[in-house]
A = this chain, B = another copy of it.
């Protein structure tokens, strides 16, 4: 952190403070120091007429960023540990505590114990796995930590992609914790790889696992509408991780179902079942789709074909997602041809 005060350059080396352990105690005097710093900045700003309001604001923001403890919400991308950005890794190295969210979108490096240790090796520090329970029930503990020292919350994909972490940001802001988001690829943009243009997508739908008694089909109208407009539809497929079993809920003791991920085959079965019930010809088994598995990983799989065709393809390990194709342009067609079964 440095302050330029007229002709004198004051430098406060946060690195040095960190190493010497002084920074640990800074938390408590943080606000005083901040106010002092801002006061100095203001007196500089007002003494110099060359500064625009924009420049003054930027300088202030930068100053607060340097001094303030942060909650970094960092996107990890889609494939494996090498999909973090340099900016993300830099932030991870700065943080004293690392959490990784495990409940919304899991991937090869997130699912297994090995996956976590690969990450820990890369980061040089331990990771705390934050499952649904923890994020929902204990978020405030994590946020209180982020008032004392830098904390990272790692998210597979992008922090505001298929699953948003708005809740966490809202809570953080209420507790006056500074938040910095580090972007990455999300399934929402990576599906672009098949050649269907992202700006030709309509509203995205989520397909939930049907149970015997619960078969919601509100996605049907959305797909119908998109197709009516010639737009593509991205279908996000259900992920069930650490769901309490019905039986355990009845017994009042938490036990979890094994994790399950909807395959493209199951998704197509459910889609066709709903079409048969509704009978409004939103799509049928000959409708062109693109199936994606493990987007971003070394063995990602992208196959284009009719629902009937894709239903029989073995897409292998999760995660899967599916695009129902709308009206295509010639270049989109040419690209899809490379992925046809």
Q: Measuring CB to CB, which residues of chain A are less than 8 angstroms from any residue of chain B?
A: 53-54, 58, 61-62, 75, 77-87, 89-90, 158-162, 164, 166-167, 169-170, 173, 181, 183-186, 188-190, 192-193, 195, 197-206, 225, 229, 231, 236, 295-296, 298-299, 314, 316, 331-332, 334-335, 338
Q: Quick one: which of B87, B166, B199, B201 contacts A79, CB cutoff 8 A?
A: B87
Q: Quick one: which of B78, B198, B298 contacts A161, CB cutoff 8 A?
A: B198
- Are A183 and B188 within 8 A (Cβ)? no
Contacts A61-B299, A164-B197, A183-B77; A54 near B316 (Cβ below 8 A): yes
Residues of B near A231 (CB, < 8 A) are 203
* Cβ contacts A to B, 9 pairs, < 8 Å: A58-B299, A81-B86, A82-B85, A85-B184, A162-B199, A164-B195, A169-B335, A199-B203, A203-B231
A295 smallest CB distance to B (angstroms): 8
A229 smallest CB distance to B (angstroms): 7
Residues of B near A188 (CB, < 8 A) are 188-189, 198-199
- Are B77 and A82 within 8 A (Cβ)? no
Residues of B near A62 (CB, < 8 A) are 298
Contacts A158-B185, A198-B204; A335 near B83 (Cβ below 8 A): no
- Are B167 and A193 within 8 A (Cβ)? no
Smallest CB-CB A-B distances: 7 pairs: A160-B192, A183-B185, A199-B204, A82-B87, A82-B86, A186-B189, A189-B189
- Are B173 and A193 within 8 A (Cβ)? no
- Are A199 and B236 within 8 A (Cβ)? yes
Report the Cα distance A148→B251, complex, angstroms: 66
A313 smallest CB distance to B (angstroms): 11
Report the Cα distance A231→B186, complex, angstroms: 20
Report the Cα distance A14→B177, complex, angstroms: 49
Q: Quick one: which of B61, B83, B164, B195 contacts A85, CB cutoff 8 A?
A: B83
Give the nearest-CB partner of A158 in chain B: B189
Report the Cα distance A190→B314, complex, angstroms: 32
Q: Quick one: which of B80, B183, B198, B236 contacts A190, CB cutoff 8 A?
A: B183
Residues of B near A190 (CB, < 8 A) are 158, 160, 183
A267 smallest CB distance to B (angstroms): 16
